[in-house]
Amino acid sequence: MIHGSLDQGGHVRSFHSLRCLIAWSVFSCLWIYSSASADSEFVPLFSGKNLNDWVHVGEGPNGYSVQEGVLVCPAEETGNLFSRKEYANFVLRFEFRFQEASNNGVAIRSPLRKDAHLTGMEIQILDDEAPRYQGVVKPVQYHGSIYGVVGARRGFLKKVGDWNEQEIRADGRRIRVTLNGVVIVDANLDTITDPDILREHPGLLRRTGHIGFLGHRSRVDFRNLRIKELP
């Protein structure tokens, strides 16, 4: 009788384990399908082959180039490279890679101008852990900050030479920046009321504009640029 009881319990445990396995398999399939479906809503912003859909603004020739599917902003570039198309509300995903002390920026809702960090908005791209920036860079200039306006959380950049993943979500007056899976900025632009900031950054009031990269005499590589427009 003891043997029979143990056997029955074993069958119960096996049946329970099988149910858990089936449930987990169904959940995994649904999660994979949901993720793939959500990802399919994004479209490439950069072809990986050429810069036909981009406009260069700045003095001198366009130094941006495509190298093995990577968009390269070289060390000598000081101009801006903008998308030809304008975007209002969107989710932008991309990867970037630094050299030591790299400095760049992602312009959003910007006009085709050199001063995009003021007349549009700039999401800072900066190796803010480099020695040259210590004690010099302000909190509103850390990587991921809305430049000069809203500071970002620090400590989530990968080491120089590794690829980082970043997402910029612009939805109405809310701007959210996620770096390597961590939200480092979540700002409501309506809460920015300092008259000096608003005067210096009129781009905060813009509802649409171009997406761009802001060269600053240092190399930064970008790849896997994709965007999903929001209603």
- Report how many domains make up the chain: 2
**Span of 20-34, 45-59, 158-172 with lowest mean pLDDT:** 20-34
Give me the phi and psi of 27, to 5 degrees please: -60, -45
18 and 78 within one domain: no
Residues 6+ apart with CB under 8 A from 166: 93, 94, 95, 96, 144, 177, 178, 179, 180
- Quick one: pLDDT band at residue 39, thresholds 50, 70, 90? confident
SS3 190: helix
**CATH code, 170:** 2.60.120.560
214 and 148 within one domain: yes
Q: How far is CA 133 from the centre of its chain?
A: 22
1 compared with 122, residue with greater pLDDT: 122
**Which stretches does DSSP call E strand in 136-217?**
163-171, 174-179, 182-188, 209-214
76 and 28 within one domain: no
Residues recorded for the chain: 231
pLDDT in tens, 116-173: 999 999 999 999 999 999 999 999 999 999 999 999 999 999 999 999 999 999 999 9
97 and 16 within one domain: no
The structure tokens listed for 11 are: 């069958």
219 and 201 within one domain: yes
Q: Which domain holds residue 15?
A: 1-40
pTM to 2 decimal places: 0.84
What's residue 10's pLDDT? Answer: 53
